[in-house]
Amino acid sequence: MRSWIPIIAMCALSFGCGESPQPSDRSVPEVDAITQKYGKPLAELPELKLVVISPHNVDIKNEYEMAFSLHHAREYGKRVRIEWRSVGGSSSAILSHLRNVYENSDKSGIDVVWGGGDTNFERMAKEGILQPMQLAADVTDNIPAVFGNLRMCDEAHLWCGSAVSAFGIFYNKRLLQRLKLPEPARWEDLGAPHFFNLVGLADPTQSGSATASYELIVQSGDTWQAGWAKLLSILGNTKRFYAGTGDAAEALLSGEVAVTTLIDFYGINRMAKYPDTLVYLSPKGQTSFSPDPIAILKNPPHPDVAQRLVDFVLSEDGQALWALPVGHPKGPRRTALGRQPIRKDVYQTYSGELLSRIVNPYEVGQTMNVDRGLWSASYGLLRRLVWAAAVRNVDSLKAAKKKLIDTNFAADRLALFNQLPDNVATREAVAATNELLRDRKQRDIIVTDWVAFFRNQYAQVAR
């Protein structure tokens, strides 16, 4: 990707460069200050290179490259050109690439890995392909080591969250108004009778983010069984299962469905484009905020600049860039990013100025504490359980749910509807069965049995 630094300098003075990013007015005094400080225009300052691998979208890459390059020029008198290394985009592809490279060499030719969820970063830390970062006191003071029972920053500072992500409810408010239906606020609202055949969800075997949202719904129940009942009630309202959460969101925009579950930054950004139609919310006390980390790779080619990028991303200015609107003096120049900052002080400093639907995860009662043991034992299993109970049996499930609604949720029918197969009926059984699913032959047998179990169960409920 080309450097935006010369473009920033020219656009800041001329306010127009075709398809190039259009900086806000604050770029003019910034560029002037750099010129005065170093006695030469920004475009004539020496240029350094930094190599970053990231699954982040182009808007995030462009905004952070522009902001960091200006920051680096102001502080160190040198521009920075970021080479965004591409290996397919997804976090799993990045992990596979880095593993392959470091199996054959002590160097990767890449400085920084940024984004993709904490699980992959924990793996990279254990496998020795990250090196410790230096974190300033104001960073560690404002980014908790653990929050909501989730680690936000590695103990040895091999990685640190650069933002946080949550899952929530995404709905078409115009459609709900036309149907004269109430707007949902909590997970269980999606299972209400008035939302029957109006929910659009994603197939968890094809969507990791869908699986994560289903896990949160289950964990919002008092027990495994209660959480499953809450999730099944929502699944029973599903009009259709889509290949991914993005497809479900598009169906919501078109009016095919009225409500879905979605990761926060996608929902916030889609809502910003269609503010009169779409609404995203993170249900208070029913979602967790997980870190989206940044780290320096082992033996980086440009260690000093790599550390400076980390410093900037984790600084208050770098964090504010995630959540402020375009046009704000500290905000992005071209595109609002709609991400949740991880630093506590950003929510206080910019209270009332952040994008709508950005919530303070550190506000009392906002975040749910995750049961890490249950998450580990049930996450992979839940993907297949939902597939067997709902995706594979969607018509039978909907018939059973409709019967429940028509009979005012008769106790005997409801108990039968919520019944689980014996091998997942308790939390202990879930953990044991999850281990069995690691074997392909066992997995095929177990899932096939689940499909038959739920089909028979729904037929009895629907009689």
Residues 427, 442: Cα–Cα separation, whole Å: 19
pLDDT at residue number 89: 64
Fold of the CATH domain 167-287+371-462:
D-Maltodextrin-Binding Protein; domain 2 (3.40.190)
21-46 average pLDDT score = 76
Q: Is the pLDDT of residue 8 over 60?
A: no
Sheet holding 199-202, edge to edge: 238-242, 199-202, 259-263, 167-172, 278-281
Mean pLDDT, the chain, rounded, equals: 92
pLDDT at 38 > cutoff 90: yes
Which region holds residue 50: left if phi is over 0, alpha if psi is between -120 and 50, else beta? beta
- Whether 5-164+289-349 shares its CATH topology with 167-287+371-462 is answered yes
- Give CA 39 to chain center in angstroms: 43
Structure confidence by residue, pLDDT tens digits, 56-68 = 999 999 999 999 9
> Of the candidates 125, 124, 143, which has an alpha carbon nearest to the alpha carbon of residue 135?
143
Q: What is the pLDDT of residue 223?
A: 96
Query: Count of CB atoms within 10 A of residue 323's CB?
Result: 25
When pLDDT is cut at 50, 70 and 90, the band that residue 27 belongs to is: low
pLDDT tens column, 252-288: 999 999 999 999 989 998 998 899 999 999 999 999 9
> Is the pLDDT reported for residue 176 higher than 80?
yes
pTM for the model stands at 0.85
What's the pLDDT tens digit per position in 416-448?
999 999 999 999 999 999 999 999 999 999 999
The reported pLDDT for the residue numbered 9 is: 35
Mind listing the pLDDT tens digit for each residue in 352-381? 999 988 999 999 999 999 999 999 999 999
Q: Which residue has the higher pLDDT, 70 or 208?
A: 70
Q: 271 and 84 in contact (C-beta within 8 Å)?
A: no
CATH of region 5-164+289-349, choose from 3.50.50.60, 3.40.190.10, 1.20.1340.10, 3.40.190.80: 3.40.190.10
- Tens digits of per-residue pLDDT, 298-348? 999 999 999 999 999 999 999 999 999 999 999 999 999 999 999 999 999
For the chain, domain boundaries = 5-164+289-349, 167-287+371-462
